[in-house]
Amino acid sequence: MVLKMKVRNAPEVEAAIGDLPEIIKESLNNAMFTMGTDIQRATEENLSRPYPKGPKSKRNLAQSIEMESDREARRYEIGSRLKYAKHIEFGTGPHTSSAGKAEFERSLRDWYNYVNPDRTYGEVKQSIIDRGLPPRPFLRPAFVKERDNFPIVFADELIRLLPPSIKA
């Protein structure tokens, strides 16, 4: 028994297959960009969570979240250039300040006035000096929340970029 098969639009399909590596690269880049913007948005949402679950930051930190991309290298980085961002994400050990006592006092007073926790300024200051700050992750949870969407986003981009002769 012999089974014969004929591909309709064979020349168009053959031409599209030749373009497939570029279509896959473009789909991957588009999907990575989409995921990057989704992670950036989720990070900004995490930063607005009220203290103590989140940093309650609608100020500098939330506004500093950015994405850098290099489409050719397929590299996308999301984060903040603010020096203190890592201390909020990962927490700190006991400390006063590496910049000096005056800088520590000023930044702590600014934070305290903005967040207005249920403790006195002196209690908060002593707690930081004695125990440090607990981690209040904002970037890692955004990545974890969005990462499972990548295969779907990539497939959608691939389908969108495929020529109609292949989709039919």
What is the residue-level pLDDT of the chain in tens, covering all 168 positions? 777 777 677 777 777 777 888 889 999 999 999 999 999 999 988 888 776 556 665 567 888 899 998 888 888 999 998 888 888 889 888 876 655 677 777 877 877 777 667 788 888 888 888 888 888 889 999 999 999 999 999 999 999 998 876 665
Phi/psi for 55 (5° steps) reads -80, -5
Contacts of 77 (CB under 8 A, 6+ apart): 67, 68, 69
Q: Describe the crossing of helices 150-161 and 10-47 by its angle, rounded to 10 degrees.
A: 140
C-alpha to C-alpha distance for 10 and 15, rounded to whole angstroms:
9
Give the number of residues written for the chain: 168
Q: What is the DSSP letter of 134?
A: -
Buried b / exposed e along 117-130 (16+ C-beta atoms within 10 A): eeeeeeebbeebee
pLDDT, residue 32, reads 94
* Phi, psi for residue 162 in degrees, rounded to 5: -65, 140
Output DSSP code: residue 50. Answer: P
146: nearest Cα among 67, 70, 73, 84:
67
Please give the model's pTM, rounded to 2 decimal places. 0.73
Q: What is the pLDDT of residues 11-29, one digit of tens each?
A: 777 777 778 888 899 999 9
